[in-house]
Amino acid sequence: MEILDGKLVSQSVKDSLKTKVSQLLEKGGKRPHLAAILVGNNGASETYVASKVKSCEEVGFTSTLMRLEENIPENELLDCIKKFNDDPDIDGILVQLPLPKHISEQQVIETVSPSKDVDGFHPVNVGKLMIGEADYLPCTPAGIQQLLIRSGVKIDGAEVVVVGRSNIVGKPIANILLQKQKGANATVTICHTGSKDMAFHTKRADILIVAAGKPKAITADMVKEGAVVIDVGVNRIGMTPEGKAKLCGDVDFEGVKEKAGAITPVPGGVGPMTITMLMMNTVKAAKLAASVE
């Protein structure tokens, strides 16, 4: 059984991005600039944004962090996004989710310019993904694909089962892996809460991707011997004696690792790849803005 180390793979990608930033500057482009907007004081969001800002520094980006009050009116948030849209120095815009309940996440997503939508959530970019012409892939699905590719997992022709149909993970990873492209070309099944016999499908998977949003939803009896298991879930299930949050995934790691050929840990699996793919999208946005290959 192999542990798919997202930290190790993401560091390799970051190292290559540093080189791409240097090459961009040599060709007359500017340093990539990511602008992040954080609304309110959600602890998890604070942690995620801090990691993203740190990654920007690591790969040689410029970053801007705009903090807004929890009770900011929706129209004022949209105005902030529009200012970033109009700023030629900014290549990528990230609005950290979730947002307060009085703000429409979909309205926010649609306000970000598609050319600066480095999260890959705008309907224009989702549509491009569907036809295999995406400028920016959503970060978590892109991270999953890169983790599989860079770990030597054969995707072409594989039976892939995705548990979960969210717009952030389930639907896009299914679309990415079924494309007739290198690093894809799989047969993909999506399971969800309406699936009558989840285990029937998951036990057929050569590659099982789990984004169910439920702790330890996938157990050993639901996994084929030797399968590659990608656990996207991050669930807080208590506190450690040291006072840190105790985390687990959507897969029963201890049980499933005895059957899996390879498996991602939680934390340290998909999470680091997600942030690194945001950096990759921002480099691409800067290159597109500068008309540099």
The catalytically annotated residue of 14, 91, 96, 171 is: 96
Does residue 145 share a domain with residue 106? no
Does residue 63 share a domain with residue 146? no
Q: Quick check: pTM over 0.85?
A: yes
Tokens of 3: 């542990």
Does residue 260 share a domain with residue 145? yes
Does residue 81 share a domain with residue 153? no
Return the residue matching tokens 């690093």. Answer: 183
Does residue 143 share a domain with residue 90? no
Does residue 145 share a domain with residue 231? yes
Does residue 151 share a domain with residue 107? no
Q: Is 96 a catalytic residue?
A: yes
- Which are the contacts of 53, defined by CB distance < 8 A and separation ≥ 6? 36, 63, 65
pLDDT at 240: 75
Return the residue matching tokens 């944004």. Answer: 49
pLDDT at 244: 79
pLDDT along the chain (293 residues), means of 10: 96 95 91 96 84 92 95 97 97 95 97 98 97 96 98 98 97 98 97 96 98 95 98 86 85 97 96 96 94 80
pLDDT at 49: 87
The catalytically annotated residue of 14, 52, 224, 287 is: 52
Give the end of a domain, one of 61, 78, 113. 113
Q: Using an 8 Å Cβ cutoff, are 216 and 254 in contact?
A: no
Question: Which residue range forms the structural domain that includes residue 72?
Answer: 27-113
Sheet of 187-191: strand order equals: 2-3, 262-263, 228-231, 207-210, 159-163, 187-191
What's the CA gap between 119 and 285, in Å, rounded? 11
pLDDT at 169: 97
Q: Is 54 a catalytic residue?
A: no
Does residue 43 share a domain with residue 166? no
* Residues forming beta bridges with residue 38, ordered by sequence position: 67
Does residue 147 share a domain with residue 108? no
Does residue 186 share a domain with residue 108? no
Asked, for residue 123, whether it belongs to a domain, the answer is no
pLDDT at 269: 96
pLDDT at 241: 80
CA 22 remoteness from chain centre: 25
Neighbour tally for 266: CB within 10 Å: 21
Asked, for residue 192, whether it belongs to a domain, the answer is yes
β-strand pairing of 159-163 with 207-210: parallel
CA nearest to 231, candidates 137, 126, 143, 138: 143
Does residue 177 share a domain with residue 56? no
Q: How many domains does the chain have?
A: 2
The catalytically annotated residue of 117, 119, 231, 250 is: 119
Does residue 165 share a domain with residue 232? yes
CATH of the domain at 79: 3.40.50.10860
Q: Which residues of 195-206 are buried (b: 16+ CB within 10 A; e: fewer)?
A: eeebeebbbebb
Asked, for residue 278, whether it belongs to a domain, the answer is no
238 Ramachandran zone, left/alpha/beta (phi>0; psi -120 to 50): left
pLDDT at 71: 96
Q: Is 52 a catalytic residue?
A: yes
